[in-house]
Amino acid sequence: MNRTIVTTQIRDDGVLRLDIPFGMADAGRTVKIVIDADGVPSKTQQEYWDFLDQTAGAWQGEFERPPQGDFESRDSLP
């Protein structure tokens, strides 16, 4: 397995551009790109964690199961 590591920055417009020359012998090969933003959560991830922090422990009262109603009557199996 060949492994190439490229370090670059996301542009001011929020777009990541990668130009990685492999050579004609590699044309048509399938590659896998793994994005690791140094463990820093994206804005969306940070908003998610902020939401959890704001709602954690917010429930007041007891957890109660409401009445489930009556079982339906069915014919017995033969």
Tens of pLDDT, residue by residue over 3-18, are: 777 888 888 888 888 8
Closest of 59, 57, 10 to residue 36, by C-alpha: 10
Note whether residue 75 is domain-resident.
no
Number of domains in the chain: 1
Query: Does 47 or 28 have the greater pLDDT score?
Result: 28
Note whether residue 25 is domain-resident.
yes
Note whether residue 59 is domain-resident.
no
Give the dihedral sign, CA 64/65/70/71: negative
Secondary structure class of 47 (helix, strand, coil)? helix
Query: Can you give the residue range of the structural domain that contains 10?
Result: 1-54
Q: How far apart are CA 17 and CA 13, in angstroms?
A: 11
pTM of the predicted model, to two decimals?
0.35
Residue 59 has pLDDT above 70, yes or no: yes
